Homo-oligomer: A and B are copies of this chain.
Amino acid sequence: MATTRDPARETRDPARLATWFREVRQATEAICKPLATEDYVVQAMPDVSPAKWHLAHITWFFETFVLKPHARGHDPFNPQYEYLFNSYYNQVGPQYYRPHRGLLSRPTVAEVYDYRRSVDDAVRLLLERADERLFERVEPIVVLGLHHEQQHQELLFTDLKYNFGINPLRPVCQQREIPIGKAAPPMSWHAYQGGIVDIGWDGNGFAFDNESPRHRALLRPFKLGSRLVTNGEFMEFMRDGGYSTPQLWLSEGWATVRVEHWEAPLYWERHDGEWWSFTLAGMRPVDPHGPVTHVSHFEADAFARWAGKRLPTEFEWEHAASREPLRGNFAESGVHHPVPATGDGHGLEQLFGDVWEWTASAYLGYPGFRAPEGAIGEYNGKFMMNQMVLRGGSCATPESHIRVTYRNFFPPHARWQFMGIRLADDA
């Protein structure tokens, strides 16, 4: 796990690291504020986890990788938690069967919060008392743990949405306003010359191991669409028979469409001839100007083929995005739903936030990539197969968590994250 000083965060200062630790931990709990106890327990499909599992697992991360090796005399809160809340670290030990996380009523939510308190106290104490040499060793792991916790903040939003969304009562997770757009600005095309470009983490601030090594890539001239594809555009694809035209689809995509009976993005329902979609604020009419979301790579790819375009590679995306300011509709906005483009900017709109953008790139190691030694090396590298890269963060991503080099990845059929479409074309 490559980490280094982050001047913005100044995590090299123990007091400031402690402050950031408190902030991130509190932000997680703030997400859960509106929940009833029951909402912490359920797991509506194997890919999602119960909220209380998330709360415990990110705490387990600190206990396992910070406290156990570095806090002298650390007494485990509960020895069985090592097994229950280990997600996938084989070098730590065996793991409770993932699809069964929602079968456990115990530990209770209150016990999980107690676990958090206990680990929080111990981490704070460790940071307070650490001499320079210990801090040197502990700091990168704490920083990694906080970025890890931010990833789970995003998953809390998307997993809660899924758990609420399958409930026939379609419950409201949190009351909030979702801005409705005026007419979306027309799509324009921004051209790039390509050539040899630099890709990957430049060594400043924090980055995950999969963003390294920085290396050169060769790009042909290309164009990117100025904004995300809208719901309205996606509805045209649907009206044109997009979901029933096999030649638009990858073979595995078409098989998925038929087996899963896909006819629209996830969470869309037709009532009296109008499309509605489930949001964290309950059922809402689909805004034709808003960005389409909750589409799989298969749908993004089929849409692009229908439109006579293609998806960008992750290298094209990163090259173009590296020239744009990092701003957008992130978790902090409190909307937790993508919002329409404004057409105000001069460059590309909506590159960051709103929805993760599917790329045409398989998730593989960069040239020269080797996963770190030890259990921490299982963080990213071992998932480099049968997944596609997404870029740019979403409306559920904390703003301080995203970077232009950030690589997210999901299998091509996944839809429950805030995933959307930016088009590309050959120049």
Contacts and interface: CB of A to CB of B under 8 A. Distances in A.
B250 A382 contact: yes
Interface stretch (A80-88, A127-135, A146-154): A80-88
A212 B57 CA distance: 47
A36 B108 contact: yes
A102 B104 contact: no
Given A96-B168, A385-B253, A368 B103 contact: no
Nearest to A220: B367
Interface residues of A, number: 66
Contacts of A164: 105-106
Contacts of A426: 367-368
A105 B161 CA distance: 12
B168 A383 contact: no
A252 to B, nearest CB: 5
A52 B383 CA distance: 39
Interface in A235-267: 246-247, 249-254
A38 interface: yes
Nearest to A104: B167
Interface stretch (A14-22, A41-49, A271-279, A326-334): A41-49
B102 A42 contact: yes
Nearest to A369: B310
Given A84-B168, A106-B38, A91 B364 contact: no
A378 interface: yes
Contact of A412 (B36, B171, B385): B385
A233 interface: no
Interface in A202-247: 215-218, 220, 246-247
A335 to B, nearest CB: 23
Contacts of A103: 42-44, 102, 163, 166-167
B251 A383 contact: yes
Contacts of A30: none
Contacts of A367: 220, 426
Interface string A263-301: 000000000000000000000000000000000011000
15 contacts: A36-B106, A36-B108, A91-B247, A96-B168, A102-B102, A103-B166, A105-B164, A216-B218, A217-B218, A249-B382, A250-B382, A250-B383, A251-B385, A362-B364, A386-B386
Interface of A: 36-44, 52, 80, 83-84, 88, 90-91, 96, 100, 102-109, 163-164, 166-169, 171, 196, 215-218, 220, 246-247, 249-254, 297-298, 360-362, 364-365, 367-368, 377-378, 382-386, 411-412, 426
Given A43-B103, A252-B383, A253-B385, 18 more contacts: A36-B108, A37-B108, A37-B109, A38-B40, A41-B41, A42-B103, A80-B168, A84-B169, A91-B247, A103-B166, A104-B169, A250-B383, A250-B384, A251-B385, A252-B385, A360-B364, A367-B426, A386-B411
